[in-house]
Chains A and B, each alone.
Chain A
C-alpha cells in the first residue's frame, strides 16, 4: 500500500473517531425537507443526516432514493454540506447517483423581518438520481421511468443558486426559496423552481423538566415545491408540484427524526412521496479536526 494511501486511511479513521468522541449537541432542527429557513449550523458542529424518499412511479417500478448529508458549521455565517445520493428502483437496480456540495452564506449579520441567505451548490449527479431534493425546470414523473442502466450514463454537472428568504414571528417560521439551476454540460438553459414552507413548534415555552414527548420537541408545518420551467419557457406548463406536511421530533437524546408524506398536485407529478430522515449533531467537531491538523 502506498504511503499516501495509508495516510489517507489514517486521516479517515481519525476523522471518524473524532465524530464518535465529539460531544453531542442538542438539535433544534427545522422540519423542512426541501425548503430551507435562514438558520445555519452552529459553528464547529457537524450534523450527519440520512434521508430516504419513497416514490410511486407510473410506467416503471416505484423507488426508494436515499441521501446522506454531512453538514458543517464553518462559521456563524457559513455552512457547508456534502451530499451522497443513491437510489433503488423496484424490479431494476440499486445505484450510487452522485454527490453535491452545498454552501449557505448568511448575508446580514443581525435578524431582520426577512432574512436572506445565499445558497450555492455544485452537483455531479447522473440522470438516474431521484432524491428530488429540489424540483426544477420541467422535471416531471416520466423522467424517472428511464431504466437505471440507461439513465446512469447521462452525467450532469450543475450549478444551483437559491435565495433563501425566511422570517420568524411569534414562533412561526415562513420561508420562500426561489432557485435557478444551470447544467454546465451541453447547452442547457437556466431552469427555475421554488420551495415555500411554514412551520411552528407545538409548544413555545420549554417545560422545566426533561421530557421526550413535550410539545416543545415537535415542530410541524407544511411545504410546497415545484418547477417553474426554463429560460425559454418560463411558467407552469409541463412542470410538477408537490404539497407536503412535515413534522420534526427533536429528541432530547440528540437525534432528530423527520417525516413528510408528499402529494403530487398535477398529472406531471409523482402521485405520492414518503420522505423521512434521521440526523444527529456532533458539537466541537471542528475543534477536534483543527487539533488533528496541528492547530491548538
Chain B
C-alpha cells in the first residue's frame, strides 16, 4: 500500500470516528439545564438596563412569535415550555429578567451549553424576540 493510500485511509477513519463521537455526545452536550438561567444574571449592568426600543411597537410580539417559531422552537419547544435541548422560557428566571438581559443572552448565546449566538439576527429582530418572550408570562 502506498504512503498516499495509507494517509487517505487514516484521514477517512479519523473523519468517521469524529462524526460518531460527535453524534454520540450530541444529547449530552446539548441537554437542557436550568443553569443556563444563570447566564441571565451574568449580563453586564449596562446591557441588562437597556430598555426594549420596540416595547411600544404593536407588531413586535407578532413578528417575535414568527421568529421564535422559525429559530427557537426547535430547542425551546413550540410554546416555549422547554424542550430536549433548551430550557423553558416561561420560567420565572426568564420572565423576571430585564429585556436587556434577555437581549444580551440572545446576542452572546451560551456557547458552552449548546446555545448558539444569535447576533446574526439584526438588533431589531432580537428585540422583537424579546417582546415575544416577555409576553409569554409564567403560565402554561
Q: Which residues of A contact B (CB under 8 A)?
A: 23, 25-26, 28, 30, 37, 39-40, 42-44, 72-77, 80, 82, 101, 106, 109-111, 122, 124, 155, 157, 168, 170-171, 173, 185, 201, 204-210, 216, 252, 283-284, 286-287, 289-290, 292-293, 295-296
A74 x B62 contact (CB < 8 A): no
A205 x B124 contact (CB < 8 A): yes
Docked pose: A146 CA to B69 CA in angstroms? 51
Instruction: Evaluate whether A286 and B107 lie within 8 angstroms (CB atoms) in the complex, with A40-B116, A185-B4, A210-B66 already known.
Output: no
Instruction: Evaluate whether A72 and B74 lie within 8 angstroms (CB atoms) in the complex, with A28-B120, A43-B30 already known.
Output: no
Within 8 A of A (CB), among B51-105: 59, 62-64, 66-67, 70-71, 74, 84-85
A295 x B120 contact (CB < 8 A): no
Docked pose: A170 CA to B18 CA in angstroms? 37
A-B contact pairs, 16 of them (CB 8 A): A28-B71, A43-B30, A44-B30, A74-B26, A75-B22, A76-B112, A76-B114, A76-B116, A110-B117, A171-B123, A201-B122, A204-B123, A206-B124, A208-B59, A286-B22, A293-B23
A39 x B120 contact (CB < 8 A): yes
B4 x A155 contact (CB < 8 A): yes
A290 x B66 contact (CB < 8 A): no
Instruction: Evaluate whether A77 and B122 lie within 8 angstroms (CB atoms) in the complex, with A26-B70, A44-B30, A287-B27 already known.
Output: no
A-B pair count, CB < 8 Å, reads: 127
Docked pose: A80 CA to B70 CA in angstroms? 23
Instruction: Evaluate whether A204 and B23 lie within 8 angstroms (CB atoms) in the complex, with A76-B111, A185-B4 already known.
Output: no
Q: How far is the CB of A67 from chain B (nearest CB, A)?
A: 17
How many residues of chain B have a CB within 8 Å of chain A?
A: 45
A28 x B121 contact (CB < 8 A): yes
Q: Which residues of B contact A (CB under 8 A)?
A: 4, 7-8, 11, 15, 18-20, 22-24, 26-27, 29-30, 59, 62-64, 66-67, 70-71, 74, 84-85, 107-117, 119-125, 128
Looking at chain A's contact residues, is the secondary structure mostly helix, strand, loop, or mixed?
A: loop
Looking at chain B's contact residues, is the secondary structure mostly helix, strand, loop, or mixed?
A: helix
Q: How far is the CB of B140 from chain A (nearest CB, A)?
A: 23
A23 x B74 contact (CB < 8 A): yes
Q: B109 is contacted by which of A23, A76, A252, A296 (Cβ under 8 Å)?
A: A76
Docked pose: A185 CA to B7 CA in angstroms? 11
Instruction: Evaluate whether A289 and B23 lie within 8 angstroms (CB atoms) in the complex, with A76-B109, A204-B122, A206-B125 already known.
Output: yes
Q: Which residues of B contact A289 (CB under 8 A)?
A: 23, 26
Q: Which residues of B contact A124 (CB under 8 A)?
A: 8, 11
With A75-B114, A101-B11 given, name 9 new contacts (CB 8 A): A44-B26, A73-B116, A76-B109, A111-B108, A171-B122, A173-B120, A207-B59, A286-B22, A286-B26
B119 x A111 contact (CB < 8 A): yes
B23, B59, B70, most chain A CB atoms within 10 A = B23
Q: How far is the CB of B103 from chain A (nearest CB, A)?
A: 12
A26, A72, A170, most chain B CB atoms within 10 A = A26
Docked pose: A139 CA to B124 CA in angstroms? 42
Q: Which residues of B contact A122 (CB under 8 A)?
A: 11
A43 x B19 contact (CB < 8 A): no
Q: A110 is contacted by which of B15, B85, B111 (Cβ under 8 Å)?
A: B111
Q: Which residues of B contact A75 (CB under 8 A)?
A: 22, 29-30, 114
Q: How far is the CB of A19 from chain B (nearest CB, A)?
A: 13
Instruction: Evaluate whether A109 and B111 lie within 8 angstroms (CB atoms) in the complex, with A26-B71, A168-B119, A171-B122 already known.
Output: yes
B123 x A295 contact (CB < 8 A): no
